[in-house]
Amino acid sequence: MARGWGFLIGLLGAVWLLSSGHREEQPPETAAQRCFCQVSGYLDDCTCDVETIDRFNNYRLFPRLQKLLESDYFRYYKVNLKRPCPFWNDISQCGRRDCAVKPCQSDEVPDGIKSASYKYSEEANNLIEECEQAERLGAVDESLSEETQKAVLQWTKHDDSSDNFCEADDIQSPEAEYVDLLLNPERYTGYKGPDAWKIWNVIYEENCFKPQTIKRPLNPLASGQGKSEESTFYSWLEGLCVEKRAFYRLISGLHASINVHLSARYLLQETWLEKKWGHNITEFQQRFDGILTEGEGPRRLKNLYFLYLIELRALSKVLPFFERPDFQLFTGNKIQDEENKMLLLEILHEIKSFPLHFDENSFFAGDKKEAHKLKEDFRLHFRNISRIMDCVGCFKCRLWGKLQTQGLGTALKILFSEKLIANIPESGPSYEFHLTRQEIVSLFNAFGRISTSVKELENFRNLLQNIH
């Protein structure tokens, strides 16, 4: 009987605890959970989930992509870092040594790269250079075949057309120089403060689509944007059409990716003998921790995955362009060029096999007149962002900002050129769609940066799980 009373008292006690709202105290969130608890499952506007991307990127794609980007064709990027800022004059140049970019000496760049503006065989490149020189003089050499004259004129027309999403860099300028990307890696340089803030503020506030009724800042780093206002801040985003919503998420994803790189290659220790670079967990948390960023950090990471899917989709679409027999990753080293093309095609076929690609058919699919205007607005906003990169005060940041912006712009150009790509001939020059070497190098290196970010998220997740 006493045992029965004990059971009844215990049962009544449990009922009282439940009715009084008492719950067993839950263990506090770990550091990893605060950054990544919301970064899982399906992404907004996509049928893909984060876990599928992690597995595909980190174990199937990342190692081969890094090997490709270390090759001569992809490591040398020509850029003009001395272009003036077109928007304001009060640029404070970063004086830190880590902000500097070391350009290549002339004899360091393979002759094939210096002599080849495009992407065909040595004979084709020489022919194209003659055509370009004639075009700059105001006419196409009439001694060329009618087919070649037509190709030159169409390439020129294409380069000047409204299909490009980036402001073309003046690589023919005497101030343009080749840079070895492997010797000038993207990492934390110490460039921060009002000048760095101004760049991102202008990108968000003046170039992301913003309803007239919204007066608050779009920049997620703006002060006064607390957790209590989070739903209010994002309500305007959810009300936008898919294209404008995607534009904001692309910029946010690019911003997040850059912050991941800076946190993963942080200057941890400096002596007069050496510098030690590595993962700065505190820096990562300040940028992505759910509590420290008042709910914003995990959203940034999800936008990074969204950007990954967009660039992945573009690479899957452009495969026919690279599959043509006369396309070469031309550096002048025939054996290496052939091996690199095989590796490139392996990577693109791997990307093609990805099971949950982003469906870009929803972009600009409405009324033709309205869709055309929306696409033009989309393009002009992005071109403007590419010009803002000339206002970055840190030269190394400017280098990687210009490259990644051009890479994303090239990806958008590919996505909106599907019909032109479908008409690419199996051999010979592509009249209606082509990519310059600059676009190819920026496209793959930009995706390489996003791929590296996804891989680094796994590293940070593991590091954070060890924090008690």
303-312 pLDDT, tens digit each:
999 999 999 9
Return the amino acid letter for 466.
Answer: N
In a domain, 414, yes or no: yes
The 10s digit of each residue's pLDDT in 393-433 is: 999 999 999 999 999 999 988 988 888 898 888 777 777 78
- Would the annotation count 187 as a binding residue? yes
397 is catalytic: yes
List of residues 6+ apart from 326 with CB closer than 8 A: 120, 121, 124, 427, 428
pLDDT of residue 405: 92
- Would the annotation count 189 as a binding residue? yes
Number of structural domains the chain divides into: 1
In a domain, 433, yes or no: yes
Range of the domain at 60: 31-87+145-465
Q: Has residue 61 got a pLDDT over 80?
A: yes
Distances (CA, A) of 178 to 72, 107, 394: 12, 11, 18
User: Which one of 48, 94, 166, 397 is the catalytic residue?
Assistant: 397
Higher per-residue confidence, 316 vs 196: 316
The rounded mean pLDDT for the chain is 78
pLDDT of residue 362: 67
In a domain, 460, yes or no: yes
Paired with 99 in beta bridges are none
pLDDT of residue 167: 61
- Would the annotation count 200 as a binding residue? yes
Q: Beta strand 266-270 with 275-278: parallel, antiparallel or unpaired?
A: antiparallel
In a domain, 136, yes or no: no
Q: Most distant CA pair in the chain: distance in Å? A: 113
- Would the annotation count 434 as a binding residue? no
Nearest 5 degrees, angle CA 7-CA 8-CA 11?
A: 85
Quote the CA–CA distance of 37 and 29 in Å, as a whole number.
Answer: 9
- Would the annotation count 252 as a binding residue? yes
Q: Has residue 23 got a pLDDT over 80?
A: no
Instruction: Say if pTM beats, i.e. exceeds, 0.85.
Output: no
Question: How big is the chain by its Cα radius of gyration, in Å?
Answer: 25
Higher per-residue confidence, 369 vs 139: 369
The 10s digit of each residue's pLDDT in 237-289 is: 666 677 778 888 899 999 999 999 999 999 998 887 888 999 999 999 999 99
Q: Which pLDDT band holds residue 111 (cuts at 50, 70, 90)? A: confident
Q: Which pLDDT band holds residue 7 (cuts at 50, 70, 90)? A: very low
Q: Are 451 and 54 in contact (CB under 8 A)?
A: no
- DSSP string of 2-29? HHHHHHHHHHHHHHHHHHTT--PPPPPP
Q: Has residue 129 got a pLDDT over 60?
A: no
Instruction: Tell me the backbone φ, ψ of residue 278, rounded to 5 degrees.
Output: -175, -165
Q: Which pLDDT band holds residue 119 (cuts at 50, 70, 90)? A: very low
Q: Which pLDDT band holds residue 294 (cuts at 50, 70, 90)? A: confident
Nearest to 382 by CA among 206, 227, 127, 139: 206
3-state secondary structure of 461: helix
In a domain, 319, yes or no: yes
3-state secondary structure of 56: helix
Instruction: Tell me the backbone φ, ψ of residue 90, rounded to 5 degrees.
Output: -85, 65
Paired with 276 in beta bridges are 269
User: Which one of 35, 46, 99, 394 is the catalytic residue?
Assistant: 394
Q: What is the mean pLDDT of residues 108-121?
A: 69
First-to-final CA distance of the chain: 47
The 10s digit of each residue's pLDDT in 218-238 is: 555 554 444 444 444 455 566
In a domain, 377, yes or no: yes
317 is written with which tokens?
A: 């679409």
3-state secondary structure of 331: coil
Quote the CA–CA distance of 345 and 341 in Å, as a whole number.
Answer: 6
In a domain, 138, yes or no: no
In a domain, 22, yes or no: no
